[in-house]
Chains A and B, each alone.
Chain A
Amino acid sequence: MMYRLVTLLALIMATLSGMPAKAQDGPLRIEITEGVIEPMPFAVPEFVAGGAGGQVAADISNLIAADLAGTGLFRAIPSNAFISRVTSFSSPIQFADWKAVNAQALVTGAVDVDSAGKLVVRFRVWDVFAGQELGSGQQLVGTTDGWRRIAHKIADQVYSRITGEGGYFDSRVVFVSETGPKDKRAKRLAIMDYDGANVTYLTDSASLVLAPRFSPTGDRILYTSYETGFPRIYVLDVQSVSRRVLETQDGAMSFAPRFGPNGRNVVYSLTKGGNTDIYSMDINSGVSQRLTSAPSIETAPSYSPDGSQIVFQSDRTGTSQLYVMGANGGEARRISNGEGLYGTPVWSPRGDLIAFTKQSKRRFHIGVMRTDGSEERLLTASFLDEGPTWSPNGRVIMFTRETQGATGQANLYSVDITGRNLRRVPTAGGASDPAWSPLQ
C-alpha cells in the first residue's frame, strides 16, 4: 500500500514539474519569499590625500571600514584584494573591477587641509552592481584632531544610505570605570566614544558612583553618588564638568534616575521610611511628584520615547517583574510573564521594544520584548549580564558582563537586537553601567 502511494505521489510530482504552467497572462511573475542574511561586502579604498592629509586619509578610511564592519551587517574587503585604485576623487569608478572582488558597496573620498588648517573630507557612496551612486557626495570640515568624529559621521552616512536607518557611530558612552581588586575597587565616571576611544574621566574615585544616564541632548548626565554616605542623584554638565545635587530630602535615598524625552523631567526612585517608590521631578523647578505608592519596591523607571508611559520593575507580586504605567502614575500593568526575575527595563528609542535583564536558572540574560510583553527574546546568557542601554538607532544594545570568580572583572559588551554580533567594547580597565548618548 505504501509502495503504491509513494509511486503515485512520485508520478504526480514528476507530472507537475514537467507540466507547463497555465497559460501565462502578461509578464512572467515570480515571488521571492526567502533570502539570505549575511554581511554585505564593501570596500573603502584609501581616501585620496591632498596636501598634508596623507596619514589622516588612511586613518579615516580605516575607521570608516571598522565602523561598518563592527556592526556585523557589513564585511570589509581587504585592500590587498583591490584590483583598481582610486587616484582621483572625480575620476570615474571602474565598477567591473569592484564587481570582480564582489564589493557591493564602495566608499570613495578625498582628504584635504585648507589654508586655515581645517580638515576637509569629501566622500561618495556607490552601489557597485547597479553602477549608481547612493545619495549624493558630501563634504565635512573639522579640525585635524577631530578626524575620528569626521570618520564616524561618514560611516553614519554610509550606514544610513545602505540600510535605511540611522547610524550610531558618532555617539558616546558614559560608564563607570572600575580599577583595583574586587574587594577594593575604585569606581569613577568616564565618557568615551562608542568604540572605546577618547576616554575622559568625569569624577574621581573618592566616592562610589553608579548608574550614569545621558540627557536626550547629550549635554548632561544624571548619576548616583554615595559622596555623603547616602545615595543621592546628581546632574553633571558634560562640557564644564560641573555638578549639583538633584534630590535633597533629608533621610531619603534617591537613585536610579533617568531623563524624560523632553529633557526636563527626571524619573527616579526614592526610599523613604523603608519604602521605595518612583517619583518624577521637573529638573528646573525641583518640584517632584510621587508616581507609585505600593508597599513593595518600585525602581528602574524608564520613559517611553513619546514620554507618555513609564516601564519599571517591581516586586509587588513577590518576585521582580516588569510593569508599565502612565507617565503620571496610575494603575500599572504587568508585562513580563516568563519564568525568572526581570529587572532594569529600558525603552527602545524606536519605541517598539523594551530591553531588560533576566535571571533564570542561575543564568543572567539580556533580552528584548514588545512593549506589551509579547515576543520575548533572550539575546545573551552568561554568569552575570545586566544593565542594557540602547544605541541611538535602536539596533544595538550595550550592557555589562561580569566574569565569574574572585578575579572576575566587569566589561562592556554590545549585541545586535537579532542576537548576533556579540562583541566586547574595548576599555582600558574594568567597566560597567554603560549609557549610550544620542547622536552628536
Chain B
Amino acid sequence: MNTGNIISGIGHVALIGWALAGPLFRPTPKPFEVTQVTAVSEEEYAAIMNAQRPNDAPTQEVQQPEIQPTVQPDIAAPVVPDAPQESPALDSQADTAPQQQPAPETAQPAAPDATPVPVAPAPETQAQDTTPVLEPPAQDMAALIPQTSLRPKQRPVQRIAPEQVAPPEPDTAVDDVVRQEAAPAESADTPVEEQEATAPEEAATEIVTEAEEAAPVTPSPPTKSVRPKTRPTRTAAAPETQAAPSTPEPDADTGTASGIEDALAAALGGATSEPAQTSAPSGPPLTGGEKDALRLAVQSCWNTGSLSSDALKVTVTVAFDMAENAKPKTETIRLIDSAGGTSGAAQQAYEAARRAIIRCGARGFNLPVEKYASWKTVEMVFNPERMRIK
C-alpha cells in the first residue's frame, strides 16, 4: 500500500517537476537575421527615386512620339494601277495556251515599290545620356605569361632486375647474352669471327615514378634566334666533279680487264670514258617561296576571260628558256603537252599561256640569279579547272 503511494507520489512529483522545468531543456532556437524596415508610402517612394536620378535626366524625358498618319510629303504616293495588283504570269504569251478570244494586252500591273509604313514609336526606355565608364584594371593585375616549354626528360628505364646493372657503354649493343668484344688478333693462328660487343639492357632495382623524380633543371629559354647561315655560293656554270669510279682496281695479274674496257670504249666511241651528261641543273634549287613568287607573277597575267569553254577544258604544259636577267626567251616558248580538249582548243589555251609568260616576264621575274641553273629552263602547267564557266 505504502509502496504504491510512494511510487504514485514520486511519479506525480516528477511530472510536476518536468512541467515546471521543461523549457530549460528545449533546444536553443536557430539564430535569424533581423532587419529594420520602415513602411513608406507610394509618394515617398517616388520622391526617393527621383532624388537618386541624375540631375540632367528629368522625369518624363522620353515622351511618346506622335505618329504622323500621312506619308512624308517628298515621297510620291504609289501609283494605283488600273489592272489588278498581280504579278505577271510565268508563261509568256508566246508559249502559253492562249484564250479563245485574245484580249488586247492589258496593262502590266504596277505594284507599288513600297507601301508607306509609319515609323514605329521609340520604346519607353529610360535611356541614360551618360556613357558608362569602365573601371580601369588595377595596375597589379596578374597577366598570363606563357610558360616556358620544358624539354622533356628521358624517362628512366622500367626494367626491374634483382641486381642493379651498370649502364652499358654508349656504343655497346644490348643483348640477352653478354659477350666480350672479339677481333682478329694479329698473332693468332685461328682467325676469330668478328662480332660486336654486347651488354645486358640497362636495369634498375626499383621503379622511380615521376613524382619521385628529382626536380628537373629548368633550361633557360633561348635569348636569341640563330639566323640560318646563307648557302655557300657556287660558281653557276662550274660542272660538278665526277666522283671517282668505284670499279675495283684491276689486279696486276688480270690484264684482260683493261683490255675489255678499252675494247668497250673503242666500240662505244669513248662513251664509257667520259662522264655521263645529265639534264638536272647543277645549281641550288629554288625555295618554295621563290617558286610561289614565280607562280603568282605568271598567274596574274593569265587571262582566261577571252577563252572559249572548250579551251577552258584544256590543261597545257608550256616550256621555255630564261635569260640570266630572268626574262623569258620568247622564241623558246613551246607547247610540250596538252590534255582535255581538241587541238584547236589546245592552241587557244597555249596562246593564252604564252601571252601570260611574255607579258609578265617582260620586265623579268623576281628570281635569284645565283640559282640561275635551276630556272634556266621552266615548264609551266596551266590548269584552268578553277577558271571554268560553272
In the complex, identify which listed stretch (B80-88, B116-124, B242-250) lies at the interface while the others stay far away: B80-88
**Cβ proximity bits B201-217 to A, threshold 8 Å, 1 near / 0 not:** 00000000000000000
Residues of B within 8 A of A25 (CB): 280
Q: Is the CB of B97 within 8 A of A253?
A: yes
Residues of B within 8 A of A357 (CB): 90, 92
Q: How far is the CA of A161 from the CA of B383 in the complex (A)?
A: 21
In the complex, identify which listed stretch (A124-132, A143-151, A236-244, A284-292) lies at the interface while the others stay far away: A124-132
A21 touching B291 in the complex, CB below 8 Å, given contacts A30-B379, A163-B308, A255-B95: yes
Residues of B within 8 A of A131 (CB): 330
B110 contacts the other chain (Cβ, under 8 Å)? yes
Q: Is the CB of B381 within 8 A of A37?
A: no
Residues of A within 8 A of B284 (CB): 20
B199 contacts the other chain (Cβ, under 8 Å)? no
Q: How far is the CA of A269 from the CA of B79 in the complex (A)?
A: 38
A32 touching B287 in the complex, CB below 8 Å, given contacts A37-B387, A163-B348, A406-B79: no
Residues of B within 8 A of A364 (CB): 88, 90
State the Cβ distance, B82 to closest chain A Cβ, in Å: 7
Q: Is the CB of B93 within 8 A of A210?
A: yes
- Give the A-B contact count at a CB cut-off of 8 A: 256
Q: How far is the CA of A134 from the CA of B348 in the complex (A)?
A: 10
A99 touching B362 in the complex, CB below 8 Å, given contacts A4-B146, A300-B95: yes
B324 contacts the other chain (Cβ, under 8 Å)? no
Q: Is the CB of A30 within 8 A of B97?
A: no
Residues of A within 8 A of B149 (CB): 4
Residues of A within 8 A of B295 (CB): 30-32
Q: Is the CB of A22 within 8 A of B311?
A: no
* B82 nearest in chain A by CB position: A406
* B348 nearest in chain A by CB position: A164
Residues of B within 8 A of A211 (CB): 92-95
* A420 nearest in chain B by CB position: B305
A164 touching B347 in the complex, CB below 8 Å, given contacts A28-B375, A40-B306: yes
B236 contacts the other chain (Cβ, under 8 Å)? no
State the Cβ distance, B42 to closest chain A Cβ, in Å: 55
Residues of A within 8 A of B97 (CB): 253, 255, 269, 271, 276, 297, 299
In the complex, identify which listed stretch (B25-33, B60-68, B131-139, B353-361) lies at the interface while the others stay far away: B353-361
Interface residues of B in 268-313 (CB under 8 A from A): 279-281, 284-289, 291, 294-295, 298-311
In the complex, identify which listed stretch (B1-9, B101-109, B169-177, B182-190) lies at the interface while the others stay far away: B101-109
A53 contacts the other chain (Cβ, under 8 Å)? no
A205 contacts the other chain (Cβ, under 8 Å)? no
Residues of B within 8 A of A433 (CB): 92, 94
State the Cβ distance, B45 to closest chain A Cβ, in Å: 52
Q: Is the CB of B379 within 8 A of A27?
A: yes
State the Cβ distance, A231 to closest chain B Cβ, in Å: 5
Interface residues of A in 79-136 (CB under 8 A from B): 99, 104, 127, 129-131, 134
**Cβ proximity bits B342-356 to A, threshold 8 Å, 1 near / 0 not:** 001101100101111
Q: Is the CB of A32 within 8 A of B383?
A: yes
Q: Sort chain A's interface into a size bin.
A: 35 or more
A402 contacts the other chain (Cβ, under 8 Å)? yes
A256 touching B94 in the complex, CB below 8 Å, given contacts A19-B287, A37-B303: yes
A164 touching B106 in the complex, CB below 8 Å, given contacts A20-B285, A24-B285: no
A129 touching B105 in the complex, CB below 8 Å, given contacts A30-B298, A40-B306, A417-B389: no
Instruction: Pick the residue among A20, A134, A406 that contacts B107 (CB under 8 A).
Output: A406
State the Cβ distance, A74 to closest chain B Cβ, in Å: 7
Residues of A within 8 A of B88 (CB): 364, 383-384, 402
Residues of B within 8 A of A32 (CB): 295, 298-299, 302, 353, 356, 380-383
Q: Is the CB of A418 within 8 A of B354?
A: no
Instruction: Pick the residue among B96, B110, B291 that contacts A30 (CB under 8 A).
Output: B291
Q: Is the CB of B286 within 8 A of A35?
A: no
In the complex, identify which listed stretch (A59-67, A179-187, A190-198) lies at the interface while the others stay far away: A179-187
B251 contacts the other chain (Cβ, under 8 Å)? no
Residues of A within 8 A of B224 (CB): none
Residues of A within 8 A of B298 (CB): 30, 32
Give 16 new A-B contacts, CB below 8 A, not counting A4-B146, A405-B81: A20-B285, A21-B286, A30-B379, A33-B383, A73-B306, A130-B330, A164-B311, A182-B106, A183-B105, A231-B102, A253-B100, A341-B90, A344-B92, A377-B390, A383-B88, A404-B109
Question: Using a CB–CB distance below 8 Å, which chain A residues touch chain B?
Answer: 3-4, 16-40, 73-74, 99, 104, 127, 129-131, 134, 162-165, 182-185, 208, 210-211, 224, 226, 229-231, 253, 255-256, 269, 271, 276, 297, 299-300, 313, 320, 341-344, 350, 357-359, 362, 364, 375, 377, 383-384, 386-387, 395, 400, 402, 404-406, 408, 417-418, 433
Rank and list the top 9 A-B pairs by shortest CB-CB distance, nearest first: A211-B94, A164-B348, A35-B302, A165-B308, A300-B95, A405-B110, A27-B377, A37-B305, A24-B285
Q: List 24 A-B contacts (CB under 8 A).
A: A19-B287, A20-B231, A21-B288, A27-B378, A29-B380, A30-B291, A30-B295, A32-B382, A40-B306, A104-B359, A129-B355, A129-B359, A130-B351, A131-B330, A163-B307, A164-B311, A211-B95, A224-B94, A300-B91, A344-B95, A406-B81, A406-B107, A417-B389, A433-B92
